[in-house]
Amino acid sequence: MRSIAWLLLVISLGAQAQEPAWPTKPIRWLVPFAPGGPADVVTRIVAAGLSERAGQPNVVENQPGAGGNIAHAAASKAAPDGHTVVFVVPSVITNPFYMKASVDPFRDLAPVIHLDNASMVLIAHPGFAPATLAEVMGEIKAHPGRVTCGASGALPSVGCELLRAHAGADLLMVMYKGNAPALNALMAGEINLLFDVVNIAIGHVKSGRVRAIASTAPRRGVGALGDIPVMAETIPGFELVTWHGVMMSPATPRPLLERVNRELNAVLQRAEVRERFANSGLQITGGVPEDFAAILRRDYQKYGAALRSAGVKPE
């Protein structure tokens, strides 16, 4: 019995000794968008929670541009010590369909955790005449190339492309480096339409500065927008659900990646974090790295098919 007890003690001590010493310095969060947008807001919520748990500062660095590739590439090339992570949205898996010189999400980055899901909403400038999605589609058909649709990332781009494909007429897509510049352009009347995440759009819809056309949720009543129409009522099968996640260098040792994953899962369980996510219309997910890897593969196929059918080719 003593031999067995001694063996169990040795195994336990060995497991503890193998636990990575992390973090040993400040953690860098790379955000592929400008400050003030939904990605930036969510990153700062999670980073603050991780800082409290880990006892090290978490520094948020906004690196907008190139559809997120600047931040993605920086994370890919960072030291694999768990102290540099990149906040990702679906652009990480749709970029290869737009750009030849793109970070490969399956080779150049390692998934850490899937943070949350969120529906989107198609919003319009109040001066844009069409009030329903059917009327928007009619306007696109009647005036090819004149209706403008803003995009600041992967899913907004996919949304604009799908509108163009279903209308069967040209829709002018205007790209922005972040959600905040795109939303400001819409409110200023510089563009007609914008796909935005609900947590950012809801306040502006209620204030009347923008008008909600339709939600990308699978049914009415999902999220903070309540009983507004959903896209699928007019365009069958139309559903866009965005998500947020965390990735890091693919050379990160597995025990260290798992440690970061566990700490982030713990952050997502904090009451104040769950409350802030819920108030923003975000559904917390969490899980192991393999869960996020499966989502990346699924959406790469799903959105890739939509973009190819819309005629998108890498440039």
- Is 185 among the domain residues? yes
- Is 5 among the domain residues? no
Please count the structural domains in the chain. 2
- Is 143 among the domain residues? yes
Which carries the bigger pLDDT value, residue 9 or residue 278? 278
Residue % of the chain over a pLDDT of 90: 65
- Is 2 among the domain residues? no
Predicted TM-score (pTM) of this structure: 0.79
Confidence at residue 5, expressed as pLDDT on a 0 to 100 scale: 47
Are 286 and 248 members of one domain? yes
End-to-end CA separation in angstroms for the chain: 68
Which tens digits make up the pLDDT trace of 248-306?
A: 999 999 999 999 999 999 999 999 999 999 887 788 999 999 999 999 999 999 888 87
Which carries the bigger pLDDT value, residue 227 or residue 64? 64
Question: Is residue 21 scored above 70 in pLDDT?
Answer: yes
Are 91 and 41 members of one domain? yes
Determine how many CB atoms are found less than 10 A away from the CB of residue 209: 15
Question: Is residue 7 scored above 90 in pLDDT?
Answer: no
Confidence at residue 36, expressed as pLDDT on a 0 to 100 scale: 83
Are 34 and 69 members of one domain? yes
Lowest mean pLDDT among 55-69, 105-119, 170-184, 217-231: 217-231
Are 102 and 148 members of one domain? no
Give the DSSP H or E segment for 59: strand 58-62
Q: Average pLDDT over the chain, rounded to whole?
A: 90
- Domain interval for residue 256: 26-118+241-309
Q: Which of 81-85, 157-161, 215-219 has the highest mean pLDDT?
A: 81-85
* 44 confidence band (pLDDT: 50, 70, 90): very high
Question: Is residue 75 scored above 50 in pLDDT?
Answer: yes
Are 78 and 131 members of one domain? no
Confidence at residue 8, expressed as pLDDT on a 0 to 100 scale: 46
- Is 68 among the domain residues? yes
What's the CATH number where 160 sits?
A: 3.40.190.10
Mean of pLDDT values over 117-140: 96
Which tens digits make up the pLDDT trace of 172-225?
A: 999 887 788 999 999 999 999 999 988 788 889 999 999 999 998 888 876 666
- Domain boundary (183, 206, 233) is at 233
Give me the DSSP letters along the chain: -HHHHHHHHHHHHHHHHHS----SSPEEEEESS-TTSHHHHHHHHHHHHHHHHHTS-EEEEE---GGGHHHHHHHHHS-SSSSEEEEE-THHHHHHHH-SS---TTTS-EEEEEEEEEEEEEEE-TT----SHHHHHHHHHHSTTTSEEEESSHHHHHHHHHHHHHHTS--EEEE-SSHHHHHHHHHTTS-SEEEEEHHHHHHHHHHTSSEEEEE-SSSTT-STT-S--BGGGTSTT---EEEEEEEE-TTS-HHHHHHHHHHHHHHHTSHHHHHHHHHTT-EE----HHHHHHHHHHHHHHHHHHHHHTT----
